[in-house]
């Protein structure tokens, strides 16, 4: 059984295959209309996300399949205390594939370990949202004709934006990617992303506070929203927010072939006036997201007999995960499992939420 929990579960070759299938679906949809006939997708959304849910549902319906599910936790058995593991086992009796959104980090991983059908992570708290990254990658691929050798600017909240972190992770596996990180000091990218992803993969990057300064160099601009709640000082937020709102004026010195991406929903971080600009690709991203989800569903349903690579070298119940947003903090009778990142220095990561733990003593 193959699953998609984290974007790195797929190789670059597999991503290429998915993108090619997505393009073929877009050109020849009639070839795919019966491909999932008789198959059922379960959309298990423990927190609401209409756009993502409807994208999955449209994807399955366009493949000729059908959909069951729920759209928020209040109308699901979790409110009666059912574990994610049990839910996954139960839903395996009803459907052929699961798309799960959950507020706890690692919940889709737990589901994948217990389900007898493939599981797709449709967003687990602040952790991962790999199908958004699939949409981002396809948009870059279709706009640029390639993913290698481009300069990608990330603007806004680079500290908490999981779509930013996931896309950087994904891009780190392609050659000659140059990253420009555009944010206020308060929302700079976390050090572990710089160290574990950017530096480790020898990507080049620059950091700046100015969107205008960065603009001329960019092939792709990935916008995100800055939320008031992220600032201790409301005045600081008010002073800054205008700098990170994309307007037609700020685009004046941009490349003619720039591609503007945004994971949506946007509130006001991109002016509506920019929508008319040919460089605005965020609604194309929506379409691309649906196409990649179709390709993904096809791939996972065709590989149910492939054994997923096992976590070979893990440590069970010796280290405890202290991340309060991790699924182990709520799911009963769940083993605490860590995988070594750097055994010499005793650095481990939780297999569910990827939080790091440093074991000073012998474990």
Judge whether 129 counts as a catalytic residue: yes
Q: What is the dihedral of CA 317, 335, 8, 340, to 10 degrees?
A: 10
Q: What is the dihedral of CA 69, 124, 354, 41, to 10 degrees?
A: 30
Set 33, 37, 51, 146: catalytic member: 51
CA-to-CA distance for 321 and 323, rounded, in angstroms?
A: 6
Judge whether 133 counts as a catalytic residue: no
**In whole angstroms, what separates CA 177 from the centre of its chain?**
19
- Cα–Cα distances (Å) from 9 to 123, 214, 254, 294, in that order, read 15, 32, 35, 18
- Residues 6 or more apart from 95 whose CB is under 8 A from it? 40, 41, 42, 68, 117
Judge whether 209 counts as a catalytic residue: no
CB 11, min distance to its own copies, A: 28
Residue 103 φ/ψ, nearest 5 degrees:
-70, -20
CB 308, min distance to its own copies, A: 20
Residue 107 φ/ψ, nearest 5 degrees:
-60, -45
CA-to-CA distance for 293 and 65, rounded, in angstroms?
A: 13
CB 148, min distance to its own copies, A: 27
Judge whether 101 counts as a catalytic residue: yes
CA-to-CA distance for 52 and 322, rounded, in angstroms?
A: 29
Set 40, 43, 52, 336: catalytic member: 52
Set 101, 113, 142, 290: catalytic member: 101
CB 8, min distance to its own copies, A: 27
Q: Alpha helices, DSSP H only, in the chain?
A: 12-27, 50-62, 84-91, 107-114, 130-144, 162-171, 191-193, 211-214, 234-241, 282-302
The backbone region for 124, taken as left when phi is positive above 0, alpha when psi lies in -120 to 50, beta otherwise, is beta
CB 339, min distance to its own copies, A: 22
CB 60, min distance to its own copies, A: 10
Set 129, 142, 165, 293: catalytic member: 129
Q: Which is nearer to its own copies, 81 or 309 (CB)?
A: 81
CB 81, min distance to its own copies, A: 4
Judge whether 51 counts as a catalytic residue: yes
Q: Which is nearer to its own copies, 196 or 331 (CB)?
A: 331
- 226 near 240, Cβ under 8 Å? yes
- 53 near 314, Cβ under 8 Å? no
For residue 99, how many C-alpha atoms fall within 13 Å in the half-sphere facing its CB?
A: 29
Strand pairing category for 66-70 and 40-45: parallel
Q: Which is nearer to its own copies, 19 or 42 (CB)?
A: 42
CB 286, min distance to its own copies, A: 5
Strand pairing category for 119-124 and 204-208: unpaired
339's tokens: 């995988």
Residues near its own copies (CB under 8 A): 33, 38, 40, 42, 45, 48-51, 54-55, 57-58, 61-62, 66-72, 74-77, 79-82, 85-86, 89-91, 93-95, 264-268, 271-273, 283, 286-287, 290, 332-333
Q: Which is nearer to its own copies, 119 or 203 (CB)?
A: 119
**Which residues are known to be catalytic?**
51-52, 80, 101, 129
């Amino acid at each position: 059984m193959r699953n998609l929990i984290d974007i790195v579960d797929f190789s670059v070759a597999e991503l290429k295959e998915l993108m090619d299938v997505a393009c073929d679906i877009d050109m020849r949809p009639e070839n795919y209309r019966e491909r999932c006939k008789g198959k059922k997708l379960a959309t298990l959304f423990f927190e609401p996300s209409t756009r993502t849910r409807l994208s999955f549902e449209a994807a399955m319906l366009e493949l000729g399949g059908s959909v069951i599910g729920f759209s928020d936790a209040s109308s699901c058995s979790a409110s009666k205390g059912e574990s994610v593991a049990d839910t996954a086992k139960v839903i395996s009796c009803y459907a052929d594939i699961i798309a799960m959104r959950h507020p706890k980090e690692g919940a889709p991983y737990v589901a994948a370990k217990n389900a007898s059908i493939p599981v797709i992570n449709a967003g687990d708290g602040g952790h991962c949202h790999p199908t958004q990254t699939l949409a981002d990658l396809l948009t870059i691929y279709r706009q640029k004709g390639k993913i290698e050798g481009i300069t990608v600017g990330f603007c806004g909240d680079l500290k908490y934006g999981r779509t930013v972190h996931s896309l950087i992770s994904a891009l780190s596996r392609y050659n000659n990617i140059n990253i420009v990180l555009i944010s206020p000091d308060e929302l700079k990218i976390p050090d572990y992303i710089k160290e574990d992803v950017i530096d480790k993969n020898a990507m080049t990057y620059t950091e700046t506070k100015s969107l205008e300064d960065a603009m001329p160099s960019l092939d792709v601009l990935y916008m995100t929203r800055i939320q008031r709640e992220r600032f201790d000082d409301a005045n600081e937020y008010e002073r800054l927010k205008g700098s990170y709102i994309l307007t037609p004026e700020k685009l004046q010195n941009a490349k003619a072939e720039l591609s503007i991406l945004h994971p949506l929903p946007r509130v006001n971080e991109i002016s509506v006036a920019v929508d008319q600009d040919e460089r605005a690709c965020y609604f194309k991203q929506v379409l691309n997201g649906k196409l990649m989800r179709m390709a993904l569903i096809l791939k996972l349903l065709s590989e149910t007999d492939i054994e997923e690579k096992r976590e070979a070298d893990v440590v069970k119940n010796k280290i405890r995960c202290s991340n309060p947003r991790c699924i182990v903090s709520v799911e009963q009778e769940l083993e605490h499992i860590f995988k070594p990142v750097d055994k010499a220095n005793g650095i481990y990561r939780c297999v569910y939420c990827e939080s790091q733990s440093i074991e000073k003593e012998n474990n």
